[in-house]
């Protein structure tokens, strides 16, 4: 089923942005593929103005615009992706450390509930895939928000999360990766529950190091 559906809502630009992000990160549009503004606007049931505004917000994140050519889904080299993972490991490792000190009891309980919810998802139970269905279900974002560090959250959300979401689902479908990632998430939550900042950072870094290795294995070079 296509991610692109007619929009019914007040904030057309924001709704369009969410739809386009979902379509790109789910693989409906591939890296390098040209996006037709006219076709997207028609499928979304909106004018091209709000769509163009949404695409403008994604430029440099998930799309690129070239004069006389138009908008394309952004492409990354294998080195680009690896460097993004290195940056993410550093930022989220510190985020997990800070979360140990700053996470509230309610946030910790919600994180445990989220992990339990993930463990019951059919695709995770089958070992087929493990990736968030929405930002509200994003385990990593929940920890970063609990760290209460605006600079780290902004650096991650402005570019890194957007760009790596293209590759997260692909790498999560590698044999054994879904269950391994769930177990690694469990280790992170246990460290947070124990209020052990050293172990929380170590567990997060180990998890993201393994995620990077999986992403590199799933990368398909077009050259």
Model confidence band, residue 143 (pLDDT cutoffs 50, 70, 90): very high
* Angstrom distance (rounded) from CA 158 to CA 119: 28
CATH topology of domain 12-73: Arc Repressor Mutant, subunit A (1.10.10)
Identify which of 103, 108, 101, 124 has the alpha carbon closest to the alpha carbon of residue 179. Answer: 124
pLDDT at 103: 96
Model confidence band, residue 135 (pLDDT cutoffs 50, 70, 90): low
Tell me the two tokens of residue 184: 């690694």
pLDDT tens-digit map of 156-196: 987 788 788 777 666 666 778 888 899 999 999 999 999 99
CATH superfamily membership of 78-218: GntR ligand-binding domain-like (1.20.120.530)
Give yes or no for a contact between 161 and 141, defined as CB atoms under 8 angstroms apart.
yes
HSE, side-chain direction, 13 A CA sphere, residue 78: 11
Domain with CATH 1.10.10.10 in the chain: 12-73
Span 62-80, average pLDDT = 90
pLDDT at 148: 96
**Which of 121-135, 155-169, 177-191, 208-222 has maximum average pLDDT?**
177-191
pLDDT at 105: 96
Span 41-64, average pLDDT = 91
Tell me the two tokens of residue 164: 């790596």
pLDDT tens-digit map of 29-42: 988 999 999 999 99
Tell me the two tokens of residue 163: 């760009």
Domain with CATH 1.20.120.530 in the chain: 78-218
HSE, side-chain direction, 13 A CA sphere, residue 189: 20
pLDDT, greater one: 57 or 168: 57
Residue 70 backbone phi and psi in degrees, to 5: 115, -155
Determine the Cα angle at 150 with ends 146 and 151, to 5°: 125
Cross-strand bridge partners of residue 72: 34, 64
**3-class SS string, the chain:** CCCCCCCCCCCHHHHHHHHHHHHHHHCCCCCCCEECHHHHHHHHCCCHHHHHHHHHHHECCCEEEECCCEEEECCCCHHHHHHHHHHHHHHHHHHHHHHHHHCCHHHHHHHHHHHHHHHCCHHHHCCCCCCCCCHHHCHHHHHHHHHCCHHHHHHHHHHHHHHHHHHHHHHHCCCCHHHHHHHHHHHHHHHHHCCCHHHHHHHHHHHHHHHHHHHHHHCCCCC
> Does position 8 have pLDDT exceeding 80, yes or no?
no
> What value does the mean pLDDT of the chain take?
86
């Amino acid at each position: 089923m296509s991610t692109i559906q007619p929009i019914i809502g007040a904030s057309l630009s924001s709704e369009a942005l969410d739809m386009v992000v979902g379509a790109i990160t789910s693989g409906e549009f591939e890296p390098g593929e040209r996006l037709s503004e006219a076709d997207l606007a028609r499928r979304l049931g909106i004018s091209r103005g709000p769509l163009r505004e949404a695409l403008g917000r994604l430029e440099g994140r998930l799309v690129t615009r070239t004069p006389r050519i138009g908008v394309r889904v952004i492409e990354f080299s294998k080195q680009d992706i690896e460097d993004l993972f290195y940056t993410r490991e550093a930022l989220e490792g510190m985020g997990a450390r800070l979360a140990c000190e700053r996470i509230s009891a309610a946030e910790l309980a919600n994180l445990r509930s989220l992990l339990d919810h993930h463990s019951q998802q059919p695709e995770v139970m089958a070992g087929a895939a493990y990736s968030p269905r929405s930002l509200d279900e994003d385990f990593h974002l929940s920890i970063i928000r609990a760290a209460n560090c605006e600079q780290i959250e902004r650096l991650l959300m402005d570019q890194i999360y957007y760009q790596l979401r293209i590759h997260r689902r692909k790498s999560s479908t590698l044999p054994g990766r879904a269950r391994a990632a769930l177990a690694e998430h469990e280790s992170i939550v246990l460290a947070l529950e124990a209020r052990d900042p050293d172990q929380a950072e170590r567990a997060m870094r180990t998890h993201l190091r393994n995620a990077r290795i999986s992403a590199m294995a799933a990368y398909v070079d077009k050259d």
